Structure 1
Amino acid sequence: MNIAVIIAGGSGHRMGQEIPKQFINVYDKPVLVYTLESFQKHPQIDAIEVVCIDGWQNVVEAYARQFNITKLKWIVTGGDSGQESIRNGVFNLEDKVSADDTIIIHDGVRPLVDADVLTDVIVKCQQYGNAVSSMPYNEQIFVIDDEISTTKYIPRETLRRVSTPQAYKFKKLDWAYHAAFEKKIGIYGSSYTNTMMVELGERLYFAAGSDMNIKLTTKDNLEMFKAYLNLDKDNWLK
């Protein structure tokens, strides 16, 4: 089976709104629902789990009924950090899925995940054991020397931008979260599943990405999302 774990455990302070950003309405539909619909419609997704900020579980349930998200099987309470939230979602699946099932982790505030990107992440995971959506880095990257100057750059050809969706076989993913929290490795700051895996010594494999797959962190991101929704709706927004 292919199980999507949608992470919606954040409070979204940087958005500056009174409610978590994943529940902000855009054209009479919450951001999280746009994300869930992408997975609901994808033929290779068998089940969905939402890791939700505490106190909003009933809201997620109600939205699932309202917008016919029939693949939603589990709602799990998030943790105090992104990594704790993902861990909670993974541990909840321990008696529900098999070792070889593919677990697709995705940010609930990335509502424009493309079906082809999702397909490629699943295919690459089945081929290599894991897959992370990625894009080439098109800007020049310089290393700070003394905060106001630099003498060193990193060739952009050696870099990839990695985001979600990312996919892992359940057995390895479950092992990794147990190991990381026991050893205190890869669970602090901005760590995510992909960086944690590397810190645990795992090799990651690249899958396709998309520039449209933006993360809604600021008001500007939200305006960009609204612009994408109004861009040629008939052709790409099903």
Structure 2
Amino acid sequence: MNIAIIIAGGIGSRMGQDLPKQFINVYDKPILIYTLESFQKHPQIDAIELVCIDGWHDIVWAYAKQFNITKLKWIVSGGNSGQESIRNGVYGLEGKVNPDDNIIIHDGIRPLVEPSVLSDVISKCSKYGNAVTSMPYNEQIFVIDENDNTTTSQYIPRETLRRVSTPQAYKFELLDSKYHEAFEKKIGIYGSHYTNTMMVELGVKLHFAAGSDKNIKLTTKDDLEMFKAYLKADKETWLK
């Protein structure tokens, strides 16, 4: 089976609003529901688990009923960090899923995940045991001089880089064992670490899957305006 873990355990302070950003309404629908609908509509997704802020569980169940998110099966509470929230979601599936099931982890504030991206991450995970959504890096990257951070004399060839995001997928047996190992050894769980960086620090080789520039993370008010523009944009049928 293919089970999604949607991470919505943060408060989103950088958005500067009075409620968590995943619950901000855009055209009379919470951002989180747009994300959940992407997984609800995808034919390969069998079930959804949501990692959510305490105090919002009943509200989410009500939204799920209102917007017909029938694949939502479980809600667990988030942790004090992003990695703790993902860990809670992974541990919450113990005894409920099979070792060989594909577990797709996705940020609740990335509401524009495309069906083709989800399909590819599932396909790659089924083949290789894991898959990380990725895109080429199209900007030039220069390294700051260690003696003067206003200068540089070194660059990183952009063709050697990939930028990654969610969705990313892992076989449950691998995912569960590595989260236990990471929190026991205190490896890959602090700061900006996510599942993919944790996996690499624990010696796992990751496999790239397809990505999309539309798959934006809604962090600031400018991101929110971009999301609204995407929703209102008319697709040009003549573009290949």
| Both structures adopt the same fold (TM-score exceeding 0.5) | yes
Alignment of 1:69 with 2:69, yes or no, is: yes
**Alpha-carbon displacement from aligned partner over 1:211-232 (angstroms, at most 9, x marks no partner):** 0000000000000000000012
Query: Who is 1:131 aligned against?
Result: 131
Q: 1:234, CA displacement in angstroms? A: 10
Query: Who is 2:183 aligned against?
Result: 181
Partner amino acid, structure 2, of 1:35: T
SS at match of 1:165: strand
**Alpha-carbon displacement from aligned partner over 1:183-223 (angstroms, at most 9, x marks no partner):** 00000000000000000000000000000000000000000
User: When the two structures are superposed, what TM-score results if normalisation uses the length of structure 2?
Assistant: 0.97
Q: 1:54, CA displacement in angstroms? A: 1.2
Q: 1:147, CA displacement in angstroms? A: 1.3
Query: Who is 2:198 aligned against?
Result: 196
Query: Who is 2:218 aligned against?
Result: 216
Partner amino acid, structure 1, of 2:56: W
Gaps of 5+ in 1: none
Partner amino acid, structure 1, of 2:158: R
Q: 1:233, CA displacement in angstroms? A: 6.9
**Alpha-carbon displacement from aligned partner over 1:93-139 (angstroms, at most 9, x marks no partner):** 01100000000000000000000000000000001000000000000
Q: Relative to structure 2, which stretch is displaced further, 144-153 or 88-97?
A: 144-153
SS at match of 2:152: coil
Between the aligned partners of 2:84 and 2:182, the Cα distance in structure 1 is 11
Between the aligned partners of 1:28 and 1:18, the Cα distance in structure 2 is 17
**Alpha-carbon displacement from aligned partner over 1:25-81 (angstroms, at most 9, x marks no partner):** 000000000000000000000000000011111111111000000000000000000
Between the aligned partners of 2:100 and 2:199, the Cα distance in structure 1 is 17
Query: Who is 1:58 aligned against?
Result: 58
Between the aligned partners of 2:12 and 2:93, the Cα distance in structure 1 is 26
Query: Who is 2:78 aligned against?
Result: 78
Partner amino acid, structure 2, of 1:17: Q
Between the aligned partners of 2:236 and 2:159, the Cα distance in structure 1 is 36
SS at match of 1:164: strand
Alignment of 1:111 with 2:118, yes or no, is: no
Query: Who is 2:29 aligned against?
Result: 29
Between the aligned partners of 1:58 and 1:79, the Cα distance in structure 2 is 18
SS at match of 1:148: strand
Between the aligned partners of 1:69 and 1:27, the Cα distance in structure 2 is 18
RMSD: 1.0
Between the aligned partners of 1:200 and 1:59, the Cα distance in structure 2 is 37
User: When the two structures are superposed, what TM-score results if normalisation uses the length of structure 1?
Assistant: 0.97
Give the number of aligned pairs: 235
Give the percent of matched residue pairs that are identical in Structure 1 and Structure 2: 79
Gaps of 5+ in 2: none
